[in-house]
């Protein structure tokens, strides 16, 4: 059973609790919902969302078991698709109930996690949050769907201004606001010592990130949960507070998982993205495992994939002549994401190696699902390709002048 703890409290300024949570460790399903809409409305939306996820644990667990049996891009994305569909089901149920009962505006935020086989799968709508504590660093796994966060992200408001803004509690996405909803979904491989927390903004608003990090760090999940909730109350308790702390099992291939995380953080396409964004782009990445002598790409063949070495080494061969070797963090084939021209060289594994692969079709699919983040990645790709063309032009001009 997954070690966890969960608590909720009215707070010091509210006379009822519109938050709800779900903790099903046997199924690996956890959720926090923060209802919006006033007495007997927000709490109904939150409760309906919890009920929708509770009745969907079978299909969620089935998808998780398929991932456990064969971790891959396909099985990973299947869990994310089921999570997303469950969010859609919840939004439709809340919206239809609000329409039928004349409770328009009855909505809820949502942050849900499916945990198992060394992975965390997340779905998020609104401004409830998920945090990961990793090696003493607090990583925010979700990006608030709120008016002020949109303004901060586009440079129209500073972080300090956002904290004081009268619009700081206006959310731009919610379960039940429309029949459909677009949740952010993400997957994270668990490293040894990782600790996950889900919470409503009744915790994240009054308690600074540094204090959240400190209070999450020590003791059991029950002790951490109690400390976090009490700190929110000590800091004024301006809203309902809900906290769920989870100690997930680490990935069975923890060393490889750590190497993949390091490579993703340093890859030119993702290097400047916050952690929560890198967790989302993981849906377009596949793992490739090769043995000594295996050929990854062949000179002259058309290619549609870029590769990044995670562990081991590969050799670049042109017309039968070995030109270079590549190790962890180095990449090749990025031009294949732009066009399908023949490969300029052959690349073979020197020994056993692990790589990540980004296929053009997977990139296209991601850009359709997440246009804002996808556009940011495409600009990075365009900048890199442009730089290569400029360097090539410079070398040609130097040769002509010699």
Ranges of the chain whose pLDDT falls below 50: none
Cα separation, 277 vs 279, in Å, equals: 5
- State residue 37's pLDDT score: 75
Residue 94 lies in a domain: yes
Query: What does the pLDDT read at residue 13?
Result: 86
Residue 267 is assigned to a structural domain of this protein: yes
Boundary-marking domain end, from 251, 273, 291? 251
Domain stops at, among 208, 226, 251:
251
Q: Are residues 317 and 221 in the same domain?
A: no
Alpha helices in 173-318 (DSSP H): 201-204, 209-217, 221-234, 254-266, 275-281
For residue 382, being part of any structural domain is answered with no
- Is 43 inside a domain boundary? yes
The CATH number of whichever domain residue 31 belongs to comes to 3.60.40.10
Q: Within this chain, do residues 122 and 193 fall inside the same structural domain, yes or no?
A: yes
One domain for residues 205 and 101: yes
Q: 90 and 202 share a domain?
A: yes
> Which residues form the domain of 212?
3-251
Number of structural domains the chain divides into: 2
pLDDT attached to residue 339: 83
Q: Is residue 392 part of a domain?
A: no
Residues 267 and 227 in one domain: no
For the entire predicted model, the pTM comes to 0.92
377 occurs within a structural domain = no
Q: Are residues 212 and 235 part of one domain?
A: yes
Residue 339 contacts by C-beta under 8 Å, 6 or more apart in sequence? none
pLDDT tens by residue, 242-252: 999 999 999 99
Confirm whether 307 is domain-assigned: yes
**Domain's final residue, options 251, 281, 305:** 251
Output the pLDDT for position 66. 96
Q: What is the pLDDT of residue 50?
A: 98
Question: How many alpha carbons fall within 13 Å on the CB side of residue 53?
Answer: 28
Distance CA 330, CA 347 (A): 13
- Looking at the structure, do residues 261 and 245 belong to the same domain, yes or no? no
Question: Cβ(293)–Cβ(305) under 8 Å?
Answer: no
């Amino acid at each position: 059973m997954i070690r966890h703890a969960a608590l909720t409290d009215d707070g010091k300024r509210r006379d009822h609790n519109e938050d709800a949570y779900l903790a099903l460790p046997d199924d690996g399903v956890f959720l926090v919902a923060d209802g919006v809409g006033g007495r007997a409305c927000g709490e109904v939306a939150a409760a309906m969302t919890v009920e929708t996820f509770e009745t969907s644990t079978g299909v969620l667990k089935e998808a998780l078991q398929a991932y456990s049996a064969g971790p891959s891009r396909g099985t990973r994305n299947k869990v994310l698709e089921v999570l997303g569909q469950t969010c859609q089901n919840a939004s439709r149920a809340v919206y239809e109930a609000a329409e039928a009962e004349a409770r328009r505006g009855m909505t809820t935020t949502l942050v849900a996690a499916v945990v198992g086989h060394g992975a965390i799968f997340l779905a998020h709508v609104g401004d409830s949050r998920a945090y990961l504590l990793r090696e003493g660093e607090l990583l925010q796994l979700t990006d608030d769907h709120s008016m002020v966060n949109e303004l901060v992200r586009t440079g129209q408001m500073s972080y300090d201004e956002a904290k004081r803004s009268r619009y700081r509690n206006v959310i731009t996405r919610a379960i039940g606001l429309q029949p459909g909803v677009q949740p952010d979904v993400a997957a994270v491989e668990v490293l040894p010592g990782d600790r996950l927390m889900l919470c409503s903004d009744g915790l994240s608003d009054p308690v600074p990130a540094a204090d959240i990090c400190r209070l999450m760090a020590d003791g059991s999940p029950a002790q951490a949960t109690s400390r976090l909730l009490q700190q929110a109350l000590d800091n004024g308790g301006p809203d309902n507070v809900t906290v769920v702390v989870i100690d997930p099992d680490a990935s069975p291939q923890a060393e490889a998982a750590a190497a993949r995380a390091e490579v993703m953080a340093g890859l030119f396409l993702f290097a400047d993205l916050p952690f929560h964004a890198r967790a989302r782009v993981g849906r377009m990445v596949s793992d490739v495992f090769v043995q000594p002598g295996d050929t990854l790409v062949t000179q002259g063949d058309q290619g549609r994939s870029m590769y990044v070495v995670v562990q081991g080494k590969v050799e670049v061969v042109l017309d039968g002549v070995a030109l270079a070797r590549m190790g962890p963090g180095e990449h090749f084939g990025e031009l294949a994401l732009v066009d399908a021209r023949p490969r300029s060289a052959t690349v073979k594994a020197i020994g056993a190696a692990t790589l990540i692969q980004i296929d053009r079709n997977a990139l296209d699919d991601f850009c359709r699902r997440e246009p804002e983040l996808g556009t940011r990645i495409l600009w990075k790709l365009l900048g890199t390709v442009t730089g290569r063309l400029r360097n090539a032009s410079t070398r040609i001009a130097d040769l002509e002048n010699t």
